[in-house]
Chain A
Amino acid sequence: MTIQGDIDQENRNIVVENKNGKLGQTWDIIYADEMPPEPKKGDLNADWGMVIEEPFHVISNLPAGRYLDLIGRNMVIKTRNGFSSQEWYFHWKSRTIRSKKNNQSWDI
Chain B
Amino acid sequence: MQVYNTNSGWFQLFKWDKESGTFVNVKNNKVLDVAGGRDQEANNVQVWKKNGSKAQSWKLTYTKDAAKIQTKGLNKNFGLDIERPFFIVSKMWMERTVECVGASNLVLKTLRKNNKGQQFFLDDKTQTIVSNQWKDRSITIQSQGRSNNLYMTTTNARWFQLFRWQGD
Contacts and interface: CB of A to CB of B under 8 A. Distances in A.
Interface of A: 8-10, 47-51, 54-64, 66, 68-71, 73-83, 87, 90-91, 94-99, 102-108
Nearest to B55: A62
Given A61-B54, A62-B54, A83-B157, A48 B2 contact: no
A66 B11 CA distance: 24
B45 A97 contact: no
A55 B18 CA distance: 16
B64 interface: yes
A66 B47 CA distance: 17
A63 B39 contact: yes
Given A56-B60, A61-B58, A82-B126, A75 B157 contact: no
A48 B16 contact: yes
Interface residues of B, number: 52
23 contacts: A9-B9, A55-B62, A56-B62, A57-B59, A57-B66, A60-B34, A68-B58, A73-B2, A75-B45, A76-B44, A77-B42, A80-B69, A81-B127, A82-B124, A87-B63, A90-B16, A95-B13, A96-B8, A97-B23, A104-B4, A106-B12, A106-B14, A107-B2
Contacts of B125: 81-83
Contacts of A64: 39
Interface in B108-166: 124-127, 157-158, 162
A108 B15 contact: no
Given A75-B44, A77-B39, 20 more contacts: A50-B60, A55-B63, A59-B61, A62-B37, A62-B39, A70-B3, A76-B42, A77-B40, A80-B69, A81-B126, A83-B157, A90-B16, A91-B6, A96-B8, A97-B23, A98-B6, A104-B5, A105-B5, A105-B12, A108-B12
A57 B44 CA distance: 17
Contacts of A78: 41-42, 157-158
B63 A71 contact: no
Which of B5, B13, B37, B54 has the most CB atoms of chain A within a 10 A radius of its CB? B13
Interface string B84-113: 000000000000000000000000000000
